[in-house]
Chains A and B, each alone.
Chain A
Amino acid sequence: MSTSGTGRDRMLASIRAGISRQADRRHGEPAPAKPTPLIPARATAPGVDVVGLFKTQLANAKSTLDEVASRDDVPAAVARYLANNNFEARVRLSPDARVSSLPWDKAPMVETSSGRSHGKDPTSVTPAVAAVAETGTMVLQSSDGTPTTLHFLPDQHVVVISKSQIVGTYEDALARVKRGPDGALPRTVNFVTGPSRSADIGKILLMGAHGPKKLHVIVVDGDL
């Protein structure tokens, strides 16, 4: 173990001395308990239209949305998105079957390849863990089939989800993250709420700072 024994011991001793000072100051009162988290009612109240809320919040976050009936319609939807916006007809796909096994031959104009990104891909197409209605947030994870570089290096990021993946809250989405055999989180879990932006130049909000300049979500009514 590369931890430095002395530094660690000194820090822990100092922290524990502080904690015993706290106890003295409390004069016998118990230490503060951990509060129960509160999940806002926005996406959980009875009768909330979760899908409707998701669409509103997605637009508020400056993402764009397309809806298709079945997974077979996705390649054409991607081709349409690229053509309408004058983007290069070339996409890098997550190797994950939910995206790579879509019938890409139905969009012959679009050149596809799959794997991680090395920074030369104009557009990526990836699946997601879930989509969160409360703030229009996409939850993505790293895995053998879903490299993180596809979420950040391309100029345009297209996320394909099934409608059944739209959930109310962050907590709902985190429960769907696929963990390792030891129960561990994957290397990365990304919450993505809209395209990259910055207001560091004169407080003017500009889109496309370092990550994708566009975030486009295609919702499939059926299964993926």
Chain B
Amino acid sequence: MTFVPTSNAFKENATGALKDKPLQEALGIARQHSIQTRLNTVAKMPEFETLRDIGRDLKNHIIANLDHYLLQFEQSVIDRGGKVHWCPDGESARAKVLEICRSVNARTVTKGKTMIGEEIGINDFLFANGIEPVETDLGEYIIQLRGETPSHIIGPALHVTQAQVEETFREAHTDLDPARNLEDPASLMAEAREKLRAGFLKADVGITGANFLIADEGATTIVTNEGNGDLTQTLPRIHIVLASIEKVVPSLKDAMTLLRILARSATGQEQSVYTTFSSGPRRPTGLDGPEEFHVVLIDNGRSAYLGSDLEEMLRCIRCGACLDHCPVYHSVGGHAYGWVYSGPIGSLLTPMLIGVENAKPLPNASTLCGRCESVCPVRIPIPKLLRNWREREFSRAITPQTERSGLWFWAFMAKRPLLYRLVTRIGARALFNLAGQRGRLSSAPLASGWTKHRDLPATQGRTFQEQWKAKRGARS
């Protein structure tokens, strides 16, 4: 039903991505933008680092009181005339959405961007059941037409070049004049606006995600730049909100903390264009808005990680900053990760959601350079958590045998200092002699993966421990 993950083929996916010219062009453009834009904006907010601390503490508090805040949220939604549906997994969430759609004989559904919707594969499911889902976020619309998954949490079509968008629109919009000029990107956007406007006005149901659920107000929050989410939730008869359990926040005042760090981290804007709080259906004397308001609360395996060494990943507010700053993501893009979430946070979430045995390479697809942690608005220690996944893989014998043997051998040596020193001394001298005058090796035992593409800088003849000892001696 849902998209079949190819996360276990990360190596092959990455090799393909490196050779994919349009993808590399698109990634090159994205790289130029994201880092500097965020820096410029953050520099204008002296309290930014403190707000990150508060964001982290707030999320930790919520995660420790999740039952309390979810129950409070449920009661507030009911008090405002809305409904809350608790769905432990993707299957029950899909069934609930279909049931609501069928209750009004819905034929088309418009959708705002929702990552949890991608996670549970709602589009394919609705389509298979005779209901047409129409993505309305421009990026999501582009990838829906192309039959792809998002390659970035907030820029789902980041991998698509302008020329490819034109190609896609020409293929999809066959009712328009084939000779029309689409060279200007603005004309592409105007065409999508026109096409989707018709969709907004005829849809029976609108589905959005939620950036936050406000517990004491019973309100859901979406943050967008396009305004598509607002049209999605205002025009149809029914508004369905898909939200994972960790999205709840105690109050509007707490949501403001996260709103002040979200856009700055995500797009480098001081604020996104539209932030909307929605609660309940249209009021009895209201002039517009939906007649029904449903919140589908989804767990999908998250609660099992509460109180674990991976719990901190549940602080994520889906800004995408870790993707924008990751050298691995910059090189291979999002699709190499093989499922819905990509980049550093994807390497943490994917094993949780589809099982670590189906995403073996992801926790290892990182140099642990720490850039992700340095920009995460809620300070998730991503490198530490990736190591925790690696440890789980090792203890569950998921790590490949050669790697396991290597680690076992290293551990054996490390626990025997005399032997360790002797062997590293021999190794350091051997490599030094092997490299000769050049000081570099074009091949080395057990290192062909490295030397196939570049030289290996040789050792300097003495081990670190030897040099350390010599230096300390010199100083005293």
Contact = CB atoms under 8 A, between A and B. Distances in A.
Interface of A: 1-4, 7-8, 10-12, 14-25, 31-42, 57, 60-61, 95, 115-116, 118-119, 135, 137, 142-144, 147-149, 151-153, 170-171, 174, 180, 182, 184-204, 206, 208-212
Given A3-B83, A14-B304, A190 B142 contact: no
B257 to A, nearest CB: 5
19 contacts: A1-B83, A7-B86, A7-B92, A19-B307, A32-B64, A34-B58, A34-B250, A38-B50, A38-B54, A135-B270, A148-B234, A187-B280, A188-B278, A198-B189, A198-B226, A200-B155, A201-B138, A210-B231, A211-B226
A115 B288 CA distance: 10
B276 A147 contact: no
Contacts of A10: 88
A202 B185 contact: yes
A187 B45 CA distance: 32
A36 B50 CA distance: 11
Contacts of B299: 11, 14-15
Contacts of B45: 40, 42
A187 B271 contact: no
Contact of B225 (A16, A20, A148, A198): A198
Interface in B172-202: 185-186, 188-190, 193, 196-197, 200-201
Contacts of B272: 193
Contacts of A25: 307
For chain B, which range describes its interface: under 10, 10 to 19, 20 to 34, or 35 or more residues? Answer: 35 or more
Given A152-B231, A200-B142, A209-B138, A34 B276 contact: no
Nearest to B26: A202
B93 to A, nearest CB: 9
Contacts of A152: 227, 230-231, 234
Interface stretch (B65-73, B414-422, B425-433, B462-470): B65-73
B88 A185 contact: no
B472 to A, nearest CB: 38
A151 B165 contact: no
Interface in B104-154: 136-139, 142
B8 interface: no
Interface in B43-91: 45-47, 50-51, 53-54, 57-58, 60-61, 63-67, 70-71, 74, 78-80, 83-88
B371 interface: no
A151 B230 contact: yes
Interface of B: 26, 29-30, 33, 45-47, 50-51, 53-54, 57-58, 60-61, 63-67, 70-71, 74, 78-80, 83-88, 92, 96, 136-139, 142, 155-158, 160-162, 165, 185-186, 188-190, 193, 196-197, 200-201, 217-219, 225-228, 230-231, 234-235, 245, 250, 252-254, 256-257, 259-260, 267, 269-283, 285-289, 297, 299, 303-308, 311
Given A19-B306, A24-B307, A202-B185, A184 B80 contact: yes
A19 B64 contact: yes
Contacts of A206: 185-186, 189
Nearest to B257: A37
A185 B279 contact: yes
Contacts of A7: 85-88, 92
B197 A209 contact: no
Given A135-B270, A142-B289, A184-B79, A210 B165 contact: no
Given A142-B286, A198-B139, 6 more contacts: A14-B304, A20-B307, A31-B64, A32-B57, A41-B47, A193-B270
A60 B270 contact: yes
A209 B271 CA distance: 17
B306 A21 contact: yes
B280 A184 contact: yes
Contact of A185 (B26, B142, B190, B219): B219
B152 to A, nearest CB: 10
Contacts of B58: 34-35
Given A15-B245, A40-B260, A209-B225, A201 B165 contact: yes
B304 to A, nearest CB: 7
Contacts of A191: 271, 274-276
